[in-house]
Amino acid sequence: MQINWRYQGKEPIKIKTFLKEKGVSRRLLASIRFHGGELLLNGFPGRKVDQMEFTDQLTLRLPAEKSRQQLQPSYVPLDILYEDRDFLLVNKPARVPSIPSFLYPNDSLINRVWGYYLLRGYQGIIPHIATRLDRDTSGVVLFGKHRYAHALLDQQLQAHQVEKTYLAMLSGKITTAHFLLELPLDRVPGSFIKRRVEVTGKRASTEMWKLAGFPQATLCKVRLHTGRTHQIRVHSAYLGHPLVGDTLYGGELSQQLQRQALHCHKIVFFHPFKQKKIEVVAQLPADLQKYLEENQRGELS
């Protein structure tokens, strides 16, 4: 993997200063130095202390990456929403975990992306997942295709600059058109999985807009301003309107929908290499679309 820049500054600048401005960490530079990468100034080996002049070209050749664990490839086809040299966005189906675990070691979304990379013959890169979804939540998941891209995404995530919009079906009727929830979250004592609203917890901010009301549920657009575990699910339950199908937090299953009614509809992020915003949308999957239509007709059971 090779990254190129053409310096456009009027004043000379040291390579290490330029790279710091580009979000290249000391750790990544050390990896380049000691694990097979290269730093080239106008095609020749460069040092961090060398100076760049106007129109100089700097090349960063990243070392080949190896997984820290024995990652098993899964060759289940992916629904690719967007892909370029640096980023991959995938439409995750429900009932597929984002990452491998003890219960699901070989067929998480990461396993599937790894299998996709192998089938495509990609060399020297491994899956770097930047956004995760619960196993039963569907929708857009964002990957960096190399270590540097992932690091730049992480900076955006830490600064809350990645915009994630969800579609959620909340149980019951909601009359308020728009509301903002500022409710801190913490673990439920004795549970590794479950969360609750707790005044001493970590800040959690969720914004909701009512899109449509139905006899048994309300469809809402949801935007996260923080990224806490189960944030939408816990905030919805705290309102007294748990997500349809979310039995962990008081929602009820129906014959038409056997999982929580939550879908990551859209992700917007800044592409640091193309210098523009990228917007990627995943339409409602068939099970949620069917539930919505049958709710509208009053045919649910």
Across the chain, mean pLDDT equals 93
Lowest mean pLDDT among 37-41, 69-73, 76-80, 107-111: 69-73
Lowest mean pLDDT among 169-173, 241-245, 283-287, 295-299: 295-299
What integer is the mean pLDDT of 258-263? 95
Report whether pLDDT(296) > 50: yes
Which pLDDT band, with edges at 50, 70 and 90, does 300 fall under?
low
Residues 6+ apart with CB under 8 A from 254: 244, 245, 291, 300, 301
73 class by beta-carbon count within 10 Å (0-12 exposed, 13-18 middle, 19+ buried): middle
| pLDDT at residue number 98 | 96
Report whether pLDDT(67) > 80: no
Residues assigned a catalytic role: 134
261 class by beta-carbon count within 10 Å (0-12 exposed, 13-18 middle, 19+ buried): buried
Could you tell me which residue, 28 or 222, shows the higher pLDDT? 222
pTM score: 0.90
| pLDDT at residue number 26 | 87
What integer is the mean pLDDT of 52-69? 89
* Cβ atoms 241, 171 nearer than 8 A: yes
| pLDDT at residue number 301 | 43
| pLDDT at residue number 11 | 93
| pLDDT at residue number 12 | 94
What integer is the mean pLDDT of 261-285? 97
